[in-house]
Amino acid sequence: MDLKTILKRFDEPDEVREFTLGKLEVVRIAGQTLGRATYQPGWKWSTHVGPTVGQQRCGVEHLGIVLQGHATVAFADGRIYNLTEGTLFYVPPEPHDSWVVGDQPYVSLHLMGAAQYAT
């Protein structure tokens, strides 16, 4: 078996999915798809991503870590979670909304869910 070391950086992503007040930089490596999400203050999934994919709420499963900023994820049943710098998060694949809290950009690394996000 010929195993090779592969080095990639989000500075040179394989794909960039841009939407109002945000973007997802996608890197594919070793059969995995990773994403770096960057959202500006005022960004909200249901307003800035949902209309482009024809959905009112996101249904993608997410696993990641917050690198910077503060966002909220909210489910239809009223559950609300705060995502702040350093938080590891898992969001199940049930409809949810999300938005940036405060006046700082929010950045997170997605280890799961990037392949399906905003498509």
**What is the per-residue pLDDT across 26-53, written as a single tens digit (0 to 9) for each?**
999 999 999 999 999 999 999 999 999 9
pLDDT of residue 76: 92
**Does a structural domain hold residue 1?**
no
**Residue 9, in any domain of the structure:** no
Averaged pLDDT, 50-59: 94
The residue ranking higher by pLDDT, 7 or 119, is 7
The model's pTM is 0.93
Residue 8 in domain: no
- Number of structural domains the chain divides into: 1
Contact 67, 85 (CB under 8 A): yes
Written as six digits, the tokens of 8 are 């990639």
Q: How confident is the model at residue 119 (pLDDT cuts 50, 70, 90)?
A: confident
Here the CATH number for the domain that contains residue 101 is 2.60.120.10
As a whole number, the mean pLDDT across the chain is 96
59 in any annotated domain: yes
d(CA 45, CA 71) in angstroms, rounded, equals: 11
How many angstroms separate the CA atoms of 92 and 10, rounded?
25
Q: Please, which pLDDT band fits residue 2 given cuts at 50, 70 and 90? A: low
The whole domain housing 71 covers: 15-112
Q: What is the spatial distance between Cα 118 and Cα 98, in angstroms, rounded to a whole number?
A: 13
Residue 20 pLDDT class (50, 70, 90 cuts): very high
Selection from 41, 39, 37 nearest residue 13 by Cα:
37
Hey, how many other C-beta atoms are within 10 angstroms of the C-beta on 110? 23
